Homo-oligomer: A and B are copies of this chain.
Amino acid sequence: MTDLFPDKGHDHGRCIDSALHQAEIVAEANNARFTNMRRRVFTLIWQSHKAITAYELLDALQAEGVRAQPPTVYRALEFLVGLRLIHRIESLNAYFGCDMPDCEHLGQYFICRNCGRVAEAVNEDMSRAVRTAAGIVGFKIEATTIEIKGLCHDCAAH
């Protein structure tokens, strides 16, 4: 078994740094401006491996002393989702950092209801199953949402 969820002792500072670095590259490649506000929001999202809501981000920004309003947060989120630097988890109305923003992928999200952590997986069998099912019914796919709720390995064990 390979646990997708990060170790308890993992060096989270490195997670964030690496994500930021990748994000800068992606933004650059898209001729998009990775502004201060966007960087702040992105960094806040990466503070944990949980999904975070727009208003939690807003509170966090305000706690940092930034005078922000909802539209500011939603704009940053829209930007980041657009570049696939983060993903929106529909069933939580929340956002989650993507750790493979440089390749197009159909991600599936495992969401632990106990610890709140989210892990993204890419699974070719699943992608193929979706494509095949769509093909059979003549459906032209534009976006796919796969969200799986339950207990992560750690939480299921306790």
Q: Mark A75-117, 1 if CB is under 8 A from B, else 0.
A: 0000000000000001100000000000000001010110000
Copies in the complex: 2
Residues of B within 8 A of A18 (CB): none
Chain B CB within 8 A of A142 CB: yes
Q: Is the interface of A mostly helix, strand, loop or mixed?
A: mixed
Cβ of B142 and Cβ of A150 under 8 Å apart? yes
Cβ of B145 and Cβ of A1 under 8 Å apart? no
From B3, B130, B132, contact of A137 by CB (8 A): B3
Cβ of A130 and Cβ of B148 under 8 Å apart? yes
Chain B CB within 8 A of A71 CB: no
Cβ of A2 and Cβ of B142 under 8 Å apart? no
Cβ of A121 and Cβ of B137 under 8 Å apart? yes
Can you list the 7 inter-chain pairs with the closest CB atoms, starting with the nearest? Answer: A138-B153, A142-B150, A126-B129, A90-B90, A125-B129, A140-B151, A145-B147
10 contacts between A and B (CB under 8 A): A1-B136, A1-B137, A112-B139, A125-B128, A126-B126, A126-B130, A134-B148, A140-B151, A141-B149, A146-B146
